[in-house]
Amino acid sequence: MGKLFDKYAVVTGGAGFLGSHLCDRLIGEGAHVTAIDNLITGDMRNIAHLVGNDHFRFVKHDVTEYIFVDGPVDYILHFASPASPIDYLKLPIQTLKVGSLGTHKALGLAKNKNARFLLASTSEIYGDPLIHPQPETYWGNVNPVGLRGVYDEAKRFAEAMTMAYQRYHAVQTRIVRIFNTYGPRMRINDGRAIPAFISQALRGEDVTVFGSGKQTRSVCYVDDLIEGIFRLLLSDIGDPVNIGNQSEISMLDLAKEVIQLTGSNSKLVFKELPEDDPKVRQPETTRAKKLLDWEARVDRKDGLRNTIAYFRTAMGLQG
């Protein structure tokens, strides 16, 4: 029997990359899950395996509008938001609306149902950080009028709104600051580095690295992230917690690793660095370790192998 036996959870953004993995985990723990998604960047294929499961229901709805859910709700996990730079640069107003109005509506539902609320925040709230690695106490270095401001500021507002509901309405809230995560169900063309590298390498095309490739990221395998989120959800920690993998790698080395793991002959090409692209990004995860007894466990090469296998199938290539 799972830890959420007979509990009711709502996952906004449930048809997305992370939301769909979360639905799987919650159902695996015995919960009844309602996924709410307007499919703006999500895909029904991510949850196709859950359709017909009597612990799962899908509601197509834009969460910037009033959210109605009948029956009890114990947990609300608010994951709806365009998340990849390609998406939020193409959908700037929708991104701002879902971070502000969508968070407000989801918190309203939590208050109404007396449910616990968990916000999917992001390392982007630290912007282009001036301290490294980034602990939860760092306030960030964000350009509010830069192109990426639509995402960063929406999430900063969402955090502020979440804390206000905690302080003024006594809603039980949790905030996870997610650092770059990868794994099966990412979209091939979502503009993030790992799907781009893998799909280019599998097609035998040149692999594109931005700038000199010296900028770093710390990439977390999706199973590790979901475990951290699950622990946070069940914890009593009302302040933000970083969840991410501490192992830092340059984009250049990551591209080389992907080429090697796919067995491709692709060459590297370099393109200009996009505006406000953070130069370094590494989570400080002492809090997660201390308070949740959580740390990333999946080795990057293993995680990349699983992701490459997923993309091979998704791209119709042989294994």
The residues assigned a catalytic role are 151
- Paired residues of 9 in beta bridges: 33, 75
> Residues touching ligand NAD: how many (CB under 6 A)?
29
The site string for ligand NAD over 56-95 (x = CB under 6 A, - otherwise) reads ------xxx--------------xxxxx---x--------
> Which residue number, 178 or 264, has a Cβ lying nearer to ligand NAD?
178
Question: Which residue is associated with the tokens 């406000």?
Answer: 276
Q: For the CB of residue 177, give the shortest distance to ligand NAD in the complex, in Å.
A: 8
Among 41, 103, 262, 285, binds ligand NAD (CB under 6 A): 41
> Which residue number, 120 or 175, has a Cβ lying nearer to ligand NAD?
120
CB contact burial 191-206 (16+ within 10 A = b; e otherwise): ebbbbbbbbbbbeeee
Residue 83, SS3?
Answer: coil
Q: How far apart are CA 146 and CA 49, in angstroms?
A: 39
CA nearest 194: which of 303, 118, 79?
A: 303
Q: For the CB of residue 119, give the shortest distance to ligand NAD in the complex, in Å.
A: 8
Work out whether 11 is an interface residue with ligand NAD (CB under 6 A): no
The site string for ligand NAD over 140-179 (x = CB under 6 A, - otherwise) reads --------------------------------------x-
Contact 11, 35 (CB under 8 A): yes
Contact 24, 1 (CB under 8 A): no
Among 180, 200, 264, 285, binds ligand NAD (CB under 6 A): 180
- Select from 7-15, 136-144, 166-174, 282-290 the region that touches ligand NAD (CB under 6 A): 7-15
For residue 189, give Cα distances in angstroms to 18, 115, 150, 198: 16, 36, 21, 10
Largest CA distance in the chain: 58
Among 28, 40, 146, 238, binds ligand NAD (CB under 6 A): 40
Q: How far apart are CA 240 and CA 254, in angstroms?
A: 29
Work out whether 38 is an interface residue with ligand NAD (CB under 6 A): yes
> Which residue number, 264 or 308, has a Cβ lying nearer to ligand NAD?
308
Residue 87, SS3?
Answer: helix
Residues in contact with 81: Cβ distance below 8 Å, sequence separation at least 6, in sequence order: 13, 88, 95, 98, 99, 102, 120, 151, 154, 155
Q: How far apart are CA 74 and CA 32, in angstroms?
A: 10
Residues 227-246 that bind ligand NAD (CB under 6 A): none
Among 7, 10, 13, 26, binds ligand NAD (CB under 6 A): 13
Q: For the CB of residue 303, give the shortest distance to ligand NAD in the complex, in Å.
A: 13
- Paired residues of 178 in beta bridges: 122, 243
Among 34, 100, 103, 122, binds ligand NAD (CB under 6 A): 122
Q: Quickly count: other Cβ atoms within 10 Å of residue 49's Cβ.
A: 12
Residue ranges in contact with ligand NAD by CB under 6 A: 12-13, 15-19, 37-42, 62-64, 79-83, 87, 98, 102, 120, 122, 178, 180-181
